[in-house]
Amino acid sequence: MKKSFLIQFSILILLIIFANLGLRSLESYDDDELGNAGGIRIDLTGNETVYESSPKDLSPREGGTLVLAESAEPEHLNTYTSTSAAATRVLDYIYETLLDYDYETWRFDRPILAESFSISDDGHTFTFKIRKNVYWHDGQQLTADDVLFSIKAVLNPFVDSAPMRSSFSKVVSARTNGPYEFEISSSETYFRNQEILGGFHIIPKHIWDPEGLLDRYSVEDLLNSSVTREEAAIKQFADAFNTHPQGRPVGDEAMPIIGSGPWVFDKWITGDHISFARNENYWNDDSTYINGYSEEGAYLDKVIVKVITDATARLTALKAGEIDFIPRMRAVQYFTQTNTPDFLEKFQKVSYVVPAYSYIGWNNDKPYFSDKRVRQAMTMLIDRDSYNKYVAYGLGIPTIGPFYIYGEQYNHNIERWPYDPIRAVELIEEAGWIDHDGDGIRDKDGVPFNFTFSVSAGSTSSKYMALMLKEDLRKVGIIVNIRQLEWSVYVENLRDRQFDVVSLLWIGGLESDPYQIWHSDNIGDRGSNYMGFRHAEADSLIETARFEMNKEKRNAMYFRLQEIFHEEQPYTFMFYQRDPGAYLKEFHGVKWIPIRPGYKLYSWWRNTSMAGEAS
Amino acid sequence: MSEMAPARTYSQIVGSQFRKNKLAVLSLHVIYVLLFVFIFADFLANDKPIVMRYQGSTYFPVFREYGVRWFGLNWQDAFKSQQFKILEDKYGEGDWAIYPVIPYSSTEYNLQVKLQPPSRAHIFGTDELGRDVLSQMIHGARVSLLVGFVAVAIYVFIGVILGALAGFYGGIIDIVIQRMIEIMITFPRMFLIITIVAVMETQSILNIMIILGLTGWTGVARFTRGEFLKVKNEDYVVAAKALGYRDFRTIFRHVLPNTLTPVLVTATFGVAAAILIESGLSFLGFGAPPEQATWGSLLSSARDTLPTGWWLTTFPGLAIFITVTVYNLVGEGLRDALDPRLKQ
C-alpha cells in the first residue's frame, strides 16, 4: 500500500513537471510592456482599405497548400439554408456572386459574374449582363438561367431560407433576357438593394434542379401564395432542395459541391477537415481578378480547413506545424503564449478589425430595465475600459452604437457614458429602486432587483463579464444570477425573449440597416428586436432612412438615431472587435480587408523556396 | 487462557487494527484538516473582517453574514455595500479590523493583479480575473467535500434498501432489482451524468449531488445483497423470524446492522470517486455554476493559460489528488482493520 501511494505520488509530480516544462519566467502584466506582443495591429481607417502584412518584394508563385483552423464545423453546406458563419466562410471559396465590394472604394459595385450592370432611372430595376466565359466546376456554362434559378430557390417559400429571404422581401419580379442578361425589380428603392440583389451566391441549376421543377414558375408565381399553395411541384422542389446531398455529409464524406469560384470543393471528412483544390480552369485566369488586390484567381494549390474546436489544441497544432494559419485565437494566447522569439520568427501575428461588436443586451420589457435611467446606470456601472485592458488585452475598440466604427454611418460626436458607479447608483435610486424592506437588496413595487445574466457555455469572455458584474452589483444591492446555457438553447431563449440580460457579438457589415434589430415591428414573433426597444422617433427615422438614397441625408438620420440609442441604452455597447490571428511567415500576399472574415485567400501564396534556399 | 485481558469491544479491536496502519492514520488526520477547512472556510478566507472596531462599536461581520443568510438579519447601515476594505479610509481614532488569514473572498476580483504567480500577497497566485487562488481553493474544498458526502449518503441509502430487499426476499424481487442494476451499469456513468446535466434547467451543486447519488447506488446494492445472502440463514435471523417479527424489523434491526460495516467501507471509496467526478464535471463546465469556486473549475480555467499559469494547475490538482488519495487510504485501512482475512 505504501508503495502504491509512493508510485502514485511520483507519477503526479512527474506530470506536473511535464505540464510546466514549457514554463518561462512570467513578467508581471503591464499594458505598456505588452504592446502588440510582436504582432501587427491593423486598423483600416481613412484611405487605407487593404493592408498587406507580408513582404511585397517577391512576385507571386502558384502552388503550395494552406491549412487553416476553424473552431466550428458547419452543420451542412447548403448556402441558402445554412445559418452558421462557419458555413459562409467555407462557401465563399466555392461560390461567387454577381457583384462584390470594390476593394479600393469599398462600394458594392465590382462586377464578378456580371460583366456590367445598370439600374433603371426610377431605381427599382437592376439589369445584370452575365459574363459569357464563366463555367461551373463540372464544365457546364454559367448563364442567366442559373442566376434566375438561384433567386427562385431563395424565394421559394418552402425552402428553409427564411432569414435570407427576409432581405429579399421587396423583390417583385425577376427574369432573363436571353442567356446572358438578368433583370430583377423591387418595389422599393432600398439603399441596400445593390448589396442584396447582387450579393447572393449563384448556384448551378443543373445540379440543384435537374428535372427543372421550377422552370414552369416565374418569380411572381413564387411570391404569390395562392400559386405556391396549389402547385405541388414547388413544395416538391423545396423538399428536395432542403435535403439535397450536395454539401451534406453522408457518413464520413460529402458529395462534392459544384460552384464557379477559384477553388474546387475537394473533400469534407466530417469532424476533421474540409479541403479545396485550385480551380485549374478558372474562368478568370487570364484577367486581373481584383483591382489593387490580387491577380488571376488563386495561387494556392490547396486549402484545407481543419476543424479544431479547442483553442488550446489549435495553438498547439500551429506550433507543431500541423496548421499554417489560425484566423482567430484567444487574446490570452496572442498576448502571453506566443511571445517567444522562436514563435515570432516563424509566425506573423496580426490583429485586424472586423465589423462585429460585442454588447450587453438588457431586456427592455423586464421590470428592472424598463426605465432608461436604470439602463444608463448599468452602462456606467460596467468598467468597460478596465475590462478591455485586462480581460480583452486591449483588443476592443469602444463603440457607442451599432454602426461600423470606421464606416461613414458612425457618429463620432457622441461621447461614451463614463464609468461612474456613484452617478449610476443615484440614477437607480431616482428610478425608484431603493432597499425599502431593508434586506440589503434594492426593490421597487415589491420586486427585488434580482436578475439573471445568461451566458453562452463556450464563451469565456462573457463568463468573466458576468462574474465581474455579479460582484460589482452585489455591492450596490443588486443580485445577479449567472446562467450558463448551451448555444442552441441560448439562441432559442433569445428568440423567445426569455431572458433578462445577454452578452453577445453582432456581426454586421460596412454599412448596415438598423431596421431588423431596432424597429419596433420586429419585437416578438421571433423578430430580431430581442431587447424590445420601442421608440417612436427611432422607428420613423429607421423607416425613412431605409428608402433615402441620398447618403448624406441618410447618414444624418442615422447620426440622430445613434443619439437616441445613446440616451436610451437598450444595449450597453461594448467594443468593435479586433480578431487576433497568426500565420506561417512562408505565406506572402497576405492581405487584410475590413469585411468579414477579414482576409481573403485569393491573394495568398506560399514561398516554398524559402526552405529550399536556406539548405 | 482463563485469565484474559479485559474483554475488548469490537470497535476497540478495529481501532487498534486501524492504528497499526500509519499511512491510514495520517490520512485520517488530513481528513480532519479538510473537515476543519470545510467548517471554517468563511473564517479562513474572506474579504470581511472577523472582528472590527468601527466608530466606537465592535462588529463581527463574518458572523453577521451567517445571520443575514440564514436568520433574516440585515446588514448594519454602515456596511450595506459590504466593502469593508474601502471603509478603512474612514477609520477614525481607535478603529481597527482583524481579517481572516486570507483576506480575500473567492469571488472578489482585482484585474490589476490578474495572473500573478504565488507571492506574499497571494500565496497560491491569482487567476485570470485577479481572484485569489487559495481563497477559491478553500471555498472549493467545501463544494468537493459536500458533493462527496451528500452524493454518497444518497446512494448508500438507495443501495442499502434495494440490496437489502433483494437479498432478504430473493425470488421475483431479487430478479427485478438485479435487472435494474444491470440496466444502470450498462450506461457509462460519466456519460450518463453529462447527459442528465445537459438537460437540466439550472446549474447547481445540489443537482450534481443528486445525480451522482441516483447513478451510483448499484455497487452498494450488490454488496448489500451479497452480505444479506450470507447472513440471512444465520440462527439469529431464523430466530427473529420464528418470533414472528415483521420483515421490516428483521431486516433493519437485525440483519442490516450486521452487514452495514463493510458497506460503509466501500462508501469511503465512494466519497473519493464522487469528488473526482465532480472535479471532472466542473472541469468540463457541466458542474457547479460559474460563480462557485471549485477545484475542477479552477483547473479548467488554468487550461487556457498554460504554460504560463502553472500555479493554477498545480495547487488545485494537488488538492484533488491528496483528497482522493486520503479517502482511498482511509478506506483501505478500515477495510483491513475490519476484515483481517483480507490482509495479505
Chain A residues close to B315, C-beta within 8 Å: none
Chain B residues close to A22, C-beta within 8 Å: 306-307
Chain B residue with minimum CA distance to A458: B285
Look at chain A and count its residues.
615
Between chains, do B80 and A435 touch, taking CB under 8 Å as contact?
yes
pLDDT of residue B207: 87
Pairing of strands A479-485, A450-456: parallel
Which residues lie below 8 Å from residue B283, measured CB to CB, with a gap of 6+? B296, B297, B299, B300, B303
Between chains, do B306 and A22 touch, taking CB under 8 Å as contact?
yes
- Whether the predicted pLDDT of A22 surpasses 60: no
Chain A residue with minimum CA distance to B330: A1
Between chains, do A475 and B81 touch, taking CB under 8 Å as contact?
yes
Give the amino acid at B272: A
**pLDDT bracket for residue A438 (50, 70, 90):** confident
Mean pLDDT of B185-212: 84
- The DSSP output letter for B189 is H
Residue among B108, B109, B307 minimizing CB distance to A20: B307
Cβ of B314 under 8 Å from any chain A Cβ? yes
Least confident of A47-56, A126-135, A401-410, A580-589: A47-56
- Whether the predicted pLDDT of A36 surpasses 80: no
What span, in angstroms and rounded, lies between the C-alpha atoms of B64 and B51?
A: 10
Cβ of A360 under 8 Å from any chain B Cβ? no
pLDDT of residue B69: 81
Chain A residue with minimum CA distance to B110: A468
Between chains, do A484 and B285 touch, taking CB under 8 Å as contact?
yes
- Whether the predicted pLDDT of A25 surpasses 60: no
Look at chain B and count its residues.
344
**pLDDT bracket for residue A15 (50, 70, 90):** low
Chain B residue with minimum CA distance to A18: B307
- The DSSP output letter for A24 is -
- Chain A (464-503) residues lying within 8 Å, Cβ to Cβ, of chain B: 464, 466-468, 470-471, 474-477, 482-484, 486
Q: Which single residue is written with the C-alpha cell 441604452?
A: A569
User: Is residue B133 exposed (0-12), middle (13-18) or buried (19+ Cβ within 10 Å)?
Assistant: buried
**Cβ neighbours, 10 Å, residue A553:** 11
What span, in angstroms and rounded, lies between the C-alpha atoms of B220 and B161?
A: 10
- Rounded to 10 degrees, what is the CA torsion of B187, B188, B189, B195? -80
| Crossing angle between the packed helical segments B61-70 and B22-44, to the nearest 10 degrees | 90
Segment A114-146, tens digit of pLDDT: 989 999 999 899 999 999 989 999 999 999 999
pLDDT of residue A27: 40
Which residues lie below 8 Å from residue A416, measured CB to CB, with a gap of 6+? A384, A398, A400
Between chains, do B291 and A337 touch, taking CB under 8 Å as contact?
no
Chain A residues close to B308, C-beta within 8 Å: 23-24, 26, 336-337
- In chain A, what percentage of residues exceed pLDDT 90? 52
Chain B residues close to A471, C-beta within 8 Å: 107-109
**pLDDT bracket for residue A337 (50, 70, 90):** confident
Which residues lie below 8 Å from residue A37, measured CB to CB, with a gap of 6+? A334, A335, A336, A338, A339, A349
pLDDT of residue A289: 52
Between chains, do B83 and A470 touch, taking CB under 8 Å as contact?
no
Collapsing DSSP to helix, strand or coil, A191 comes out as coil
pLDDT of residue A416: 94
Mean pLDDT of A506-521: 89
Chain B residues close to A20, C-beta within 8 Å: 307, 310, 313-314
- Whether the predicted pLDDT of B139 surpasses 90: yes
**Number of A–B residue contacts, CB under 8 Å:** 110
Collapsing DSSP to helix, strand or coil, A269 comes out as strand
Question: What per-residue string of b and e applies to A239-248 under the rule 16 or more CB within 10 Å gives b?
Answer: eebbebebbb
Chain B residues close to A439, C-beta within 8 Å: 72, 74
Cβ of B129 under 8 Å from any chain A Cβ? yes
Interface test with A, best of B87, B310, B315 (most A CBs within 10 A): B310
Measured CA distances, A29 to A52, B79, B112, B133, B211 (Å)? 30, 33, 8, 17, 41
Phi, psi (degrees; rounded to nearest 5) at A595: -105, 155
Mean pLDDT of B74-98: 79
**Cβ neighbours, 10 Å, residue B114:** 19
Distance of CA B229 to the CA centre of its chain: 31
Between chains, do A23 and B310 touch, taking CB under 8 Å as contact?
yes
Residue among B107, B317, B325 minimizing CB distance to A8: B325
pLDDT of residue B71: 82
- Chain A (282-311) residues lying within 8 Å, Cβ to Cβ, of chain B: 311
Chain B residues close to A474, C-beta within 8 Å: 82
Segment A441-469, tens digit of pLDDT: 899 998 999 999 999 877 888 999 999 99
Three-class SS string for A74-126?
A: CCCCCCCCCCCHHHHHHHHHHCCCCEECCCCCCCCCEECCEEEEEECCCCCEE
- C-alpha cell of residue B154: 444518497
The sign of the dihedral angle between the CA atoms of A38, A39, A45, A47 is positive
What span, in angstroms and rounded, lies between the C-alpha atoms of B35 and B138?
A: 11
Segment B34-67, tens digit of pLDDT: 999 999 999 999 988 898 888 888 888 888 888 8
Chain A residues close to B312, C-beta within 8 Å: none
What span, in angstroms and rounded, lies between the C-alpha atoms of B308 and B126?
A: 12
Average pLDDT, chain A: 86
Distance of CA A613 to the CA centre of its chain: 40
- Whether the predicted pLDDT of A31 surpasses 70: no
**pLDDT bracket for residue A609 (50, 70, 90):** low
Question: What per-residue string of b and e applies to A296-320 under the rule 16 or more CB within 10 Å gives b?
Answer: bbbbbbbbbbbbbeebeebbebbbe
Chain B residues close to A330, C-beta within 8 Å: 304
Residue among B130, B308, B329 minimizing CB distance to A5: B329
DSSP string, A405-466: TTSTT--TTPPPPP--HHHHHHHHHHTT-B-SSSSSS-EETTEESEEEEEEETT-HHHHHHH
- Name A575's bridge partners: A398
- ipTM of the complex, rounded to two decimals: 0.84
Q: Are A497 and A524 in contact (CB under 8 A)?
A: yes
Between chains, do A19 and B305 touch, taking CB under 8 Å as contact?
no
Mean pLDDT of A283-305: 67
- Whether the predicted pLDDT of A26 surpasses 50: no
pLDDT of residue A346: 93
Between chains, do B82 and A474 touch, taking CB under 8 Å as contact?
yes
Give the amino acid at A115: E
Collapsing DSSP to helix, strand or coil, A183 comes out as strand
What span, in angstroms and rounded, lies between the C-alpha atoms of B31 and B275?
A: 13
Chain A residues close to B108, C-beta within 8 Å: 471
Percent of chain B as helix, strand, coil, to the nearest 5: 70, 5, 30
- C-alpha cell of residue A464: 468573466
DSSP string, B246-295: -HHHIIIIIIHHHHHHHHHHHHHHHHHHHHHHHHHHHHHT-SS-TTS--H
What span, in angstroms and rounded, lies between the C-alpha atoms of A256 and B45?
A: 60
pLDDT of residue A613: 41
Pairing of strands A249-250, A253-254: antiparallel
Least confident of A58-62, A368-372, A476-480, B98-102: A58-62
CA distance B140 to chain A (A): 16
Residue among A97, A68, A228, A106 at smallest CA distance from A158: A228
**pLDDT bracket for residue A473 (50, 70, 90):** very high
- Whether the predicted pLDDT of A204 surpasses 50: yes
- Whether the predicted pLDDT of A21 surpasses 50: no
pLDDT of residue A615: 33
pLDDT of residue A11: 66
Segment B225-279, tens digit of pLDDT: 998 998 888 898 889 889 988 888 888 888 888 888 888 888 888 888 888 888 8
Between chains, do A28 and B116 touch, taking CB under 8 Å as contact?
yes
Q: Are A161 and A154 in contact (CB under 8 A)?
A: yes
Residue among A2, A311, A471 minimizing CB distance to B108: A471
Interface test with A, best of B66, B71, B305, B328 (most A CBs within 10 A): B305
Residue among B130, B304, B317 minimizing CB distance to A311: B304
Collapsing DSSP to helix, strand or coil, A461 comes out as helix
Least confident of A298-307, A456-465, B80-89, B233-242: B80-89
pLDDT of residue B260: 82
What span, in angstroms and rounded, lies between the C-alpha atoms of B122 and A121?
A: 72
- In chain A, what percentage of residues exceed pLDDT 70? 91
Three-class SS string for chain B?
A: CCCCCCCCCHHHHHHHHHHCCHHHHHHHHHHHHHHHHHHHHHHHECCCCCEEEECCEEECHHHHHHHHHHCCCCCCHHHCCCCHHHHHHHCCCCCEEECCCECCCCCCCCHHHCCCCCCCCCCCCECCCCCEHHHHHHHHHHHHHHHHHHHHHHHHHHHHHHHHHHHHHCHHHHHHHHHHHHHHHHCCHHHHHHHHHHHCCCCCHHHHHHHHHHHCCHHHHHHHHHHHHHHCCCHHHHHHHHCCCCHHHHHHHHHHHHHHHHHHHHHHHHHHHHHHHHHHHHHHCCCCCCCCCCHHHHHHHHHHHCCCCHHHHHHHHHHHHHHHHHHHHHHHHHHHHHCHHHCC
- Whether the predicted pLDDT of A286 surpasses 70: no
Cis peptide, bond prior to residue B307, ω within 30 of zero: yes
Q: How many CA atoms lie within 13 A of A170 on its CB side?
A: 18
Give the amino acid at B339: D
Segment B279-300, tens digit of pLDDT: 888 888 778 888 888 898 888 8
Give the amino acid at A448: P
Q: Are A358 and A507 in contact (CB under 8 A)?
A: no
Measured CA distances, A224 to A125, A196, A330 (Å)? 20, 21, 48
Between chains, do B111 and A28 touch, taking CB under 8 Å as contact?
no
For A592, the enclosing helix (H) or strand (E) is: strand A591-592
CA distance A581 to chain B (A): 16
CA distance A485 to chain B (A): 9
Least confident of A29-38, A400-409, A482-491, B193-202: A29-38
Segment A374-420, tens digit of pLDDT: 999 999 999 999 999 998 888 999 999 999 998 889 999 999 999 99
Cβ of B329 under 8 Å from any chain A Cβ? yes
pTM score above 0.90: no
